[in-house]
């Protein structure tokens, strides 16, 4: 299946089934790459439709403490960009789940954007999201993303004005990522009160492009609220924290949490 087809097929299938797409995030290499591949399989079997693999970075300014710790563990284990690509290849060898490369710009820029994106595509990734590159500064990398055959996925937030949302949507393929609130990633006791307004604004800008909401979705209750208004939900810190808490029981605990979130995606 072609790159764009995997992502679009996931959203089309979920729409037919009257549910939101479940996008799961893992920091690649936390606590090691073998565990990442194993958890990826658990997540897919437990209902995840799309998988984001995060490239660990030493200065993850957009991440909360949970993902900061995950990146530190992954780097301490010796995880490199080549290792992330190798893990993706292993996942792709047994699965057609859409894969999104989630990265800060620095690790990819150090490799050279063109080369990094080509290698990501060859490894089996379908899309790339540069978490610290705003839409105004993306034009240097965007042509290389598209030449590689990857889908660019851009972020918008509650503070994005209408023009910026339109610009991000126009440059995105696959889906538009809507940050649910200002601040860093991480679990919260409740979602932002103005989430419905942010999603409504993003949907007008997207003009039919699916939208997925992330940052702060920590429970089935959160997922249920977001699934009612968005095409997809993104869960990261809650899954990473679950694995962190449960150690050797991480696979079963993450699977149980993922199943509860997948069930909550049904409308």
Q: Which residues are catalytic?
A: 52, 63
Phi, psi (5° rounding) for residue 21?
-70, 135
Angle value at C-alpha 81, between 79 and 82, nearest 5 degrees? 90
**Do β-strands 99-103 and 127-130 pair in parallel, antiparallel, or remain unpaired?**
parallel
Q: Is 161 exposed, middle or buried (0-12, 13-18, 19+ CB in 10 A)?
A: exposed
Helix (H, G, I), strand (E, B) or coil at 156: strand
Helix (H, G, I), strand (E, B) or coil at 157: coil
Angle value at C-alpha 132, between 232 and 76, nearest 5 degrees? 95
38-76 burial code (b ≥16 CB/10 A, e <16): ebbbbbbebbbbbbbbbbbbeebeebbebbbbbbebbbe
123 contacts: CB under 8 Å, gap ≥ 6:
85, 86, 88, 89, 92
In eight-state DSSP terms, residue 19 is: B
């Amino acid at each position: 299946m072609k790159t764009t087809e995997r992502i679009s097929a996931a959203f089309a299938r979920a729409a037919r089934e009257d549910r939101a797409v479940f996008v799961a995030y893992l920091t690649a290499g936390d606590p090691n790459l073998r565990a990442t591949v194993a958890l990826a399989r658990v997540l897919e079997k437990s209902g995840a439709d799309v998988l984001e693999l995060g490239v660990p970075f030493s200065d993850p300014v957009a991440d909360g403490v949970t993902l900061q710790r995950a990146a530190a563990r992954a780097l301490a284990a010796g995880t490199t960009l080549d290792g992330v690509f190798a893990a993706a290849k292993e996942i792709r060898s047994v699965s057609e789940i859409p894969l999104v490369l989630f990265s800060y710009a620095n690790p990819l820029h150090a490799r050279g954007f063109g080369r990094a994106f080509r290698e990501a595509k060859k490894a089996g990734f379908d899309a790339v999201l540069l978490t610290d590159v705003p839409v105004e500064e993306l034009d240097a990398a965007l042509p290389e993303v598209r030449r590689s055959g990857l889908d660019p996925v851009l972020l918008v937030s509650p503070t994005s004005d209408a023009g910026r949302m339109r610009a991000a949507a126009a440059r995105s393929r696959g889906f538009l990522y809507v940050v649910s609130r200002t601040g860093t990633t991480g679990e919260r006791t409740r979602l932002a009160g103005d989430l419905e307004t942010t999603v409504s604004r993003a949907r007008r800008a997207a003009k039919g492009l699916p939208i997925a909401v992330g940052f702060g979705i920590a429970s089935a209750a959160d997922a249920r609220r977001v699934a009612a208004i968005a095409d997809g939900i993104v869960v990261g810190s809650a899954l990473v924290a679950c694995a962190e808490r449960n150690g050797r029981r991480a696979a079963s605990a993450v699977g149980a949490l993922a199943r509860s979130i997948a069930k909550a995606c049904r409308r």
